[in-house]
Amino acid sequence: MSRRSVAGGGDDGRIATELENCVLGIVAEHQPCTAYRIRHNLKISLSSYWSASAGAIYPLMQRLEDRGWIRVDEEKWGSRTRRSYSLTRAGRHQLRAWLSPPLADWAAAFTYDPVRTRIFFLGNLSPKRRLAFLDEAIARTETTLGEHRDEKKAQSATLQAFDSIGRDGAIAELEARARWLRSVRKKLD
């Protein structure tokens, strides 16, 4: 196994993105880990915000390495080279800074919600189509909510405490959306 040196020697002064910080968290939880593991974690994430595509992850991993926040260990794996990532001291410092107060105002604001965005424009539909949209949004939200409840229950024995708490937050958000959509439906009926 060989250890690669960090290109650029450290932090470039840019503010880290949420995705970069999220990936630092994944690396911290599973190190050493591969880009495949990171992609898998993002893919199964309860957030629709993250992209788990290779086109997003591999350049991101290079940026984190260039900033000195992760180190890469390479080993021969058959005819290929396998790359495993671990946090550096600077990466752990960045992760802790991201997790610590103060929290940016935007981070505590309302979340991205494509259903809510569409609600603003329902006036462009006939009353019948508005109700059809709301019925669909309610049904899909409740289906997703049920899936996440079932998944949490099935994984309850293996979930880490903070994974469980994070899933509770996603479930609470879906419950709130379903309640709100039902109230909108009632107002428009």
Domain ranges of the chain: 2-103, 110-188
Over the stretch 87-125, which tens digit does the pLDDT of each residue have? 999 999 999 999 999 988 888 888 889 999 999 999 999
Taking the C-alpha atoms of residue 87 and residue 70, their distance in angstroms, rounded to an integer, is 4
16, HSE (Cβ side, Cα atoms, 13 Å) = 28
Over the stretch 18-73, which tens digit does the pLDDT of each residue have? 999 999 999 999 999 999 999 988 887 766 566 677 678 899 999 999 999 999 99
Over the stretch 61-75, which tens digit does the pLDDT of each residue have? 999 999 999 999 998
pLDDT of 5 above 90 = no
| pTM beyond 0.95 | no
Strand residue runs (E) in 15-156: 70-77, 80-87
Taking the C-alpha atoms of residue 21 and residue 96, their distance in angstroms, rounded to an integer, is 10
Mean pLDDT of 138-161: 90
> What CATH architecture does domain 2-103 belong to?
Orthogonal Bundle (1.10)
DSSP string for 97-129: HHHSSPPPGGGGSPPP-HHHHHHTTGGGS-HHH
Taking the C-alpha atoms of residue 172 and residue 175, their distance in angstroms, rounded to an integer, is 5
Percent of the chain with pLDDT over 90: 59
What is the chain's mean pLDDT, rounded? 88
